[in-house]
């Protein structure tokens, strides 16, 4: 573009002469202010007591040994099914299940439905599951990363701590001692699998047994768990639920449960440093 000079000839327009209409008034506008990211809400804030499921939040209970299978659970389930040799139809129905707890639970339910709640296989399966869990607790189970730190932070807040689990209580206590976590539960309940498989979570019996240990209202407590059964038990007991799982898809499923509970990928996300007085 050129400009006339006294009408005689044209000279090139300089860059300084060019104006950007959109820039007019830009100097008068305030510079954008960076907004801080919203603070993450602590799902355990204000809780007087926190109950933890055992397998998941506190340990990888069925972790396999080095050089072995990634999980011992399918092998444990297979071993429980060997007790069903005299009940081949039931054994065939339970063949696809990789979870020993589900094999035990569904065996008990099927025999109860068939009018045989005291069938010898129920007691035999309970005993064998206890033995398998005790062995895993003493040898192969590994602590969940961040579990010790979370317990320490909660204890520093004055929060009451307990365990509410479908695993056997003796196995839980053996692992807590082995992993040096037992001291956090010296003044709290450790409630494990009931003798009646029908009272395992999602039934609230395990949570109610733990809550009876303290003179606190259920709505002052939070359960940290990793499964829909944990969430259902918490809801039935009137306890808030906070999900934990390492796998994104499992966290998504937990967040889509009724009430849209929170679900975290790491225990380090829970109970940041600070103290909440318990009265």
233 close to 262: Cβ distance less than 8 angstroms: no
Q: Are residues 57 and 88 in the same domain?
A: no
At 153, is the pLDDT very low, low, confident or very high (cuts 50, 70, 90)? very high
Instruction: Give the pLDDT confidence score for residue 272 in this predicted structure.
Output: 85
Asked, for residue 195, whether it belongs to a domain, the answer is: yes
Asked, for residue 239, whether it belongs to a domain, the answer is: yes
Give the model confidence (pLDDT) of 33-60 as tens digits: 555 444 567 899 999 999 999 999 999 9
CA distance 103 to 150: 32
At 138, is the pLDDT very low, low, confident or very high (cuts 50, 70, 90)? very high
pLDDT: which is higher, 189 or 279: 189
**What is the rounded average pLDDT of the residues 236-254?**
97
The DSSP bridge pattern shows strands 142-143 and 59-60 to be: antiparallel
The CA dihedral of 178, 149, 274, 278, to the nearest 10 degrees, is -30
Distance, CA of 188 to chain centre = 20
**What is the rounded average pLDDT of the residues 153-181?**
97
Instruction: Give the pLDDT confidence score for residue 23 in this predicted structure.
Output: 53
Please report, for the domain that includes residue 210, its CATH number.
3.40.50.1000
Give the model confidence (pLDDT) of 88-135 as tens digits: 999 999 999 999 999 999 999 999 999 998 999 999 999 999 999 999
Asked, for residue 226, whether it belongs to a domain, the answer is: yes
Q: Cβ-count burial of 148 within 10 angstroms (0-12 exposed, 13-18 middle, 19+ buried)?
A: middle
Rg (CA), the chain: 29
- Last residue within a domain, chosen from 139, 155, 187: 139
Domain that holds residue 257: 49-61+143-269
Segment among 32-36, 214-218, 224-228, 273-277 with least mean pLDDT: 273-277
pLDDT: which is higher, 22 or 186: 186
Mean pLDDT of the chain: 89
Asked, for residue 15, whether it belongs to a domain, the answer is: no
Instruction: Give the pLDDT confidence score for residue 38 in this predicted structure.
Output: 46
State which H helix or E strand residue 162 sits in.
strand 160-164
Number of domains, the chain: 2
> Taking the CA of residue 217 as centre, how many other CA atoms within 13 Å lie in the half-sphere pointing to its CB?
5
**What is the rounded average pLDDT of the residues 51-70?**
95
Asked, for residue 10, whether it belongs to a domain, the answer is: no
Q: Are residues 176 and 77 in the same domain?
A: no
Backbone angles phi, psi at 87, to 5 degrees: -130, 65
Q: Is the pLDDT of residue 172 over 80?
A: yes
Instruction: Give the pLDDT confidence score for residue 8 in this predicted structure.
Output: 44
pTM of the model: 0.83
Q: Are residues 148 and 135 in the same domain?
A: no
Q: Is the pLDDT of residue 147 over 90?
A: yes
Q: Residue 29: CB partners within 8 Å, gap ≥ 6?
A: none
Backbone angles phi, psi at 211, to 5 degrees: -65, -30
């Amino acid at each position: 573009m050129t400009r006339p000079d006294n009408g005689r000839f044209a000279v090139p327009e300089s860059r300084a002469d060019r104006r950007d209409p959109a820039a007019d008034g830009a100097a008068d506008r305030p510079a954008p202010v960076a907004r801080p990211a919203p603070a993450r809400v602590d799902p355990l804030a204000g809780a007087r007591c926190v109950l933890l499921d055992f397998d998941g939040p506190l340990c990888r209970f069925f972790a396999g040994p080095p050089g072995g299978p990634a999980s011992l659970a399918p092998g444990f389930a297979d071993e429980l099914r060997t007790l069903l040799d005299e009940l081949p139809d039931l054994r065939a129905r339970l063949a696809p299940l990789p979870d020993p707890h589900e094999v035990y639970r569904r065996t008990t339910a099927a025999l109860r439905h068939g009018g045989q709640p005291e069938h010898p296989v129920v007691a035999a399966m309970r005993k064998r599951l206890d033995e398998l869990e005790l062995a895993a607790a003493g040898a192969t189970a590994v602590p969940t990363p961040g579990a010790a730190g979370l317990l320490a932070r909660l204890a520093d807040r004055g929060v009451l701590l307990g365990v509410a689990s479908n695993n056997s209580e003796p196995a839980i206590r053996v692992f807590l001692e082995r992993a040096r976590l037992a001291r956090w539960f010296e003044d709290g309940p450790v409630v494990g699998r009931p003798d009646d498989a029908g009272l395992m979570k999602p039934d609230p019996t395990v949570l109610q047994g733990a809550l009876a240990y303290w003179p606190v209202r259920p709505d002052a407590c939070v359960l940290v768990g990793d499964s829909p059964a944990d969430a259902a038990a918490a809801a039935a007991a009137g306890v808030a639920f906070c999900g934990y799982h390492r796998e994104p898809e499992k966290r998504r499923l937990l967040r889509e449960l009724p009430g849209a509970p929170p679900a975290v990928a790491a225990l380090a996300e829970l109970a940041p440093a600070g103290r909440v007085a318990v009265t």
